[in-house]
Structure formats: structure tokens, C-alpha cells
Amino acid sequence: MTNQHPATVADSLSLHGDIHDDDFGTIVDRWPKLDARLRSFDAGAVSIQLFVKERATESQHITLDVKIDGHNPLVATSSNTDFDQGLNEVRDEMIRQITDMKTKNEPRNNKHLRETTT
């Protein structure tokens, strides 16, 4: 089953804090693997918030907050002082969390769901 209007980073992402508007395109271009994880969700069901505090300093902090309707919020953080590396860290951690969430919601991996669907 394919989703007619899949969620994408470009449609769901909002930037906050010490981040520039021109960073938006760069982030979207570098996060196709996150797009792939979001594809099974409807476009309107996903909200992605990226927060950057104290960019380009020793105390830089990046938080990626993803809300998907019907699921608990997911949060990934990085304190890496390199901006690009920090973005990669939160992206990779978010992909892992979404994959884990989807796996737990599949009936073959969840005894409770198997019993209620048979």
C-alpha cells in the first residue's frame, strides 16, 4: 500500500533558534534517508521541529523533535560543536527511533497486535 501524499522533510520541517533560512534547503537535501522513513505517514500527520542553540560555539546544542499523529513524540539531540556533524547525529538518531517505532507497531513484532488482528 502506497501513500498518495507522503510526509517529507521539506513539507514538515520548521527551523528555530540560531539557524538561517538558507540552511533549510541544505538540510532537506542532506536528509533523504529521513524522507524515506517518513514516506509511510500522511503529509499532514508529521511535524518536524529543529532547534539550534548557541550555533558555532562550544556549547552548541541541536534538538530534532518529531511528532507523528497517533504516536509518542520523538526527540534526538546532539551537543557536537560541528554544525554539520550535529545535524547528521540528530538525523541518524531520528531514523533509528522512527524505525524502532514502526517495527513495534507491526503485528508480526508485537504479540498484542498479532492477537487483536487475527
Q: Left, alpha or beta for 84 (phi > 0: left; psi -120 to 50: alpha)?
A: alpha
Q: Is residue 73, in this structure, part of any structural domain at all?
A: yes
Domain count of the chain?
1
Mean pLDDT of 64-77: 97
Q: State pLDDT tens for residues 71-118.
A: 999 999 999 999 999 999 999 999 999 999 999 887 765 555 445 554
Q: Please give the residue range of the domain that contains residue 109.
A: 9-117
In a domain, 2, yes or no: no
pLDDT tens readout for residues 8-63: 999 999 999 999 889 999 999 999 999 999 999 999 999 999 999 999 999 999 99
Q: Residue 66 domain-assigned?
A: yes
Q: CATH number for the domain including 15? A: 3.30.160.100
Q: pLDDT value at position 3?
A: 75
Interatomic CA distance for residues 3 and 43, integer angstroms: 9
Q: Which residues pair with 78 in a beta bridge?
A: 62
| pLDDT given for residue 10 in this prediction | 96
Specify the pLDDT at position 110.
52
pTM of structure: 0.87
Residue 105 included in any domain: yes
The amino acid sitting at 57 is T
pLDDT of residue 115: 58
User: 49 pairs with which residues across the strands?
Assistant: 14, 65
Residue 3 forms part of a structural domain: no
User: Does any domain span residue 53?
Assistant: yes
Q: Assign residue 17 a region: left if phi > 0, alpha if psi is -120 to 50, beta otherwise?
A: left
> Does residue 1 form part of some domain?
no
CB 79 within 8 A of CB 94: no
pLDDT at 111: 58
pLDDT at 6: 96
Supply the DSSP string of 36-98, one letter for each residue: HHHTTSBGGGEEEEEEEESTTSTT-EEEEEEEETTS--EEEEE--SSHHHHHHHHHHHHHHHH
In a domain, 20, yes or no: yes
